[in-house]
Copies of this chain bind each other. A is one copy, B any other.
Amino acid sequence: MDKKLNLTSPAIFIGKQGNGVISFGSGQPDLPPPREAIKGIDIRHDLRYGLIQGCTELRESLANEYPASSAENFVITNGASEALDLIFRAMDNGKVLLPRPYYYSYPPILKYAGMEPVYTDLKQGRIAIEDFRKKIKGCKAVLINSPSNPTGRIEAIDTLKEIEKVTGELGIYVVSDEVYKDIIYERENYIIKGKHVITVNSFSKTYAMCGVRVGYLWSPDQKFVNKIIEMKTHTSMNTNLVGQDMALRAMRSPKSYVAKQLEIWRKRRDIIYEGLKDIGLDLWKPEGAFYVLPKVSQPKKFATKLYTDYKVIVYLGSWFGAPGRVRLSYALDEKEIKEGLNRIKDCLKKI
C-alpha cells in the first residue's frame, strides 16, 4: 500500500481498487444495466450524424414522462455533465446560488462557464429556505440537486414548490439536477416546474449505464433550449447514436427493473446507515441516491489511515464543500458493505 497519499481529488484513487480494497468511493451503480439495453442490439449501419438535439424517438419517449412536454423541449447530451456544462455556458456570466455541500463538479463547471457561485449552507442536508430567499436575489440561476450527491437527502415537496414560486417571481433560472430521481426511498419524485426551469437528467444511475454517457436536459423555455442546440452544434454535435439506441431500449425495459433495483438500494441504505450509527457516527439518514456523509474528526487522517492500513476508500467531505465529514457511496454488495463497516470500526478505534 502506498503510505503517502495526497488527498487532492477523487482522481487519486483511480486504479487503486481490486486486491482486497473495499471502495466506498466512486458514485455509480455496481448493478447490471437492463438486459434489453445491451442484449442483441443491432448496431445501425448508417452511422452518419444524427440530429444535434438528439434522436426523435428517444425525445418523444421522454416527453411522455414529463408534464406538458413535447420532443422539442429536450436535448440529449453526453451525460448530465455536458447538459450542466452547456446550460451554464449558455447563460453568459452571472451568479448562481449553490446549496452546500454540493456535487464536486458543480464549482468547476460554474468556473469554466465564467459564472460565480453564491453558497447557501444546507441544514440537516436540506435547503434552508430563509437563507435561500435572502441569497437568491441578484443571482441569475440556482442549481439544486434532489436527491443529493453527497448528502443523500431529498428536498421536501413544500420546499420545491416554494423554490418554484420565489424563482418564478424573480425570473431566475432553476437548474434541477435530478439524476437520482429514480432512487428515492420516501416518495415519488416531484418534478419541479415552470417556464424558468431546466431539468437535467440521465440514464446513468437509473439504468446503470454511466459509461455510455447519455443524459438530457428538459425545459419549456424553447429559446433557451435552442441556444443550447446551437452551442452543441459546434462543441460536440450529436450525442453518440449507439448510446441513444441503448437508452431508448433501456426505457422500454420492464418497469420492474427500476423497482427491483430500488429495493436493493434500500436494503443497502439500511445496512450502512444503521452500521455507521452503531459505530457511533453522526450522519443524516439517506432518503435518496446512494451516499452517506458522516461527520468524522480529522477526516484527512481518517481517510488516509483507512486506505493505507485497512484498504478502504472513502472520499473527503471537503471535496464536496463538507469539511469535517467523509462521503461513502454504498454502491457495493451487502457483504462488502458489512466488511467495510467492520474495517471502519477497527480504524476508528486506532485514531
Report whether B32 and A236 are in contact in the complex, using a CB–CB cutoff of 8 Å: no
List the number of copies, as a whole number: 2
Interface size range of chain A in the complex:
35 or more
Chain A interface helix/strand/loop/mixed? loop
Q: A112-B231, A240-B240, A243-B240 are in contact. Are A49 and B210 (CB under 8 A)?
A: yes
- Closest residue of chain B to A114 (Cβ to Cβ) is B114
Give the residue of B47, B51, B211, B214 whose beta carbon is less than 8 angstroms from that of A209.
B47
Residues of chain B with a CB closer than 8 A to A114's CB: 114
Segment touching B, from A37-45, A259-267, A270-278, A301-309: A37-45
Q: A212-B242, A243-B243 are in contact. Are A79 and B237 (CB under 8 A)?
A: yes
Report whether A239 and B213 are in contact in the complex, using a CB–CB cutoff of 8 Å: yes
Segment touching B, from A81-89, A141-149, A184-192, A321-329: A81-89
Report whether A105 and B234 are in contact in the complex, using a CB–CB cutoff of 8 Å: yes
Report whether B234 and A213 are in contact in the complex, using a CB–CB cutoff of 8 Å: no
Interface membership of A206, Cβ < 8 A: no
Residues of chain B with a CB closer than 8 A to A209's CB: 47
Interface membership of A167, Cβ < 8 A: no
Q: Which residues 214-247 of A have a CB within 8 angstroms of B?
A: 214, 231, 233-243, 246
If A85-B236, A213-B239 are given as contacts, then 6 extra A-B residue pairs at C-beta distance below 8 Å, sorted by A number, are A38-B43, A43-B246, A48-B210, A79-B236, A81-B236, A112-B235
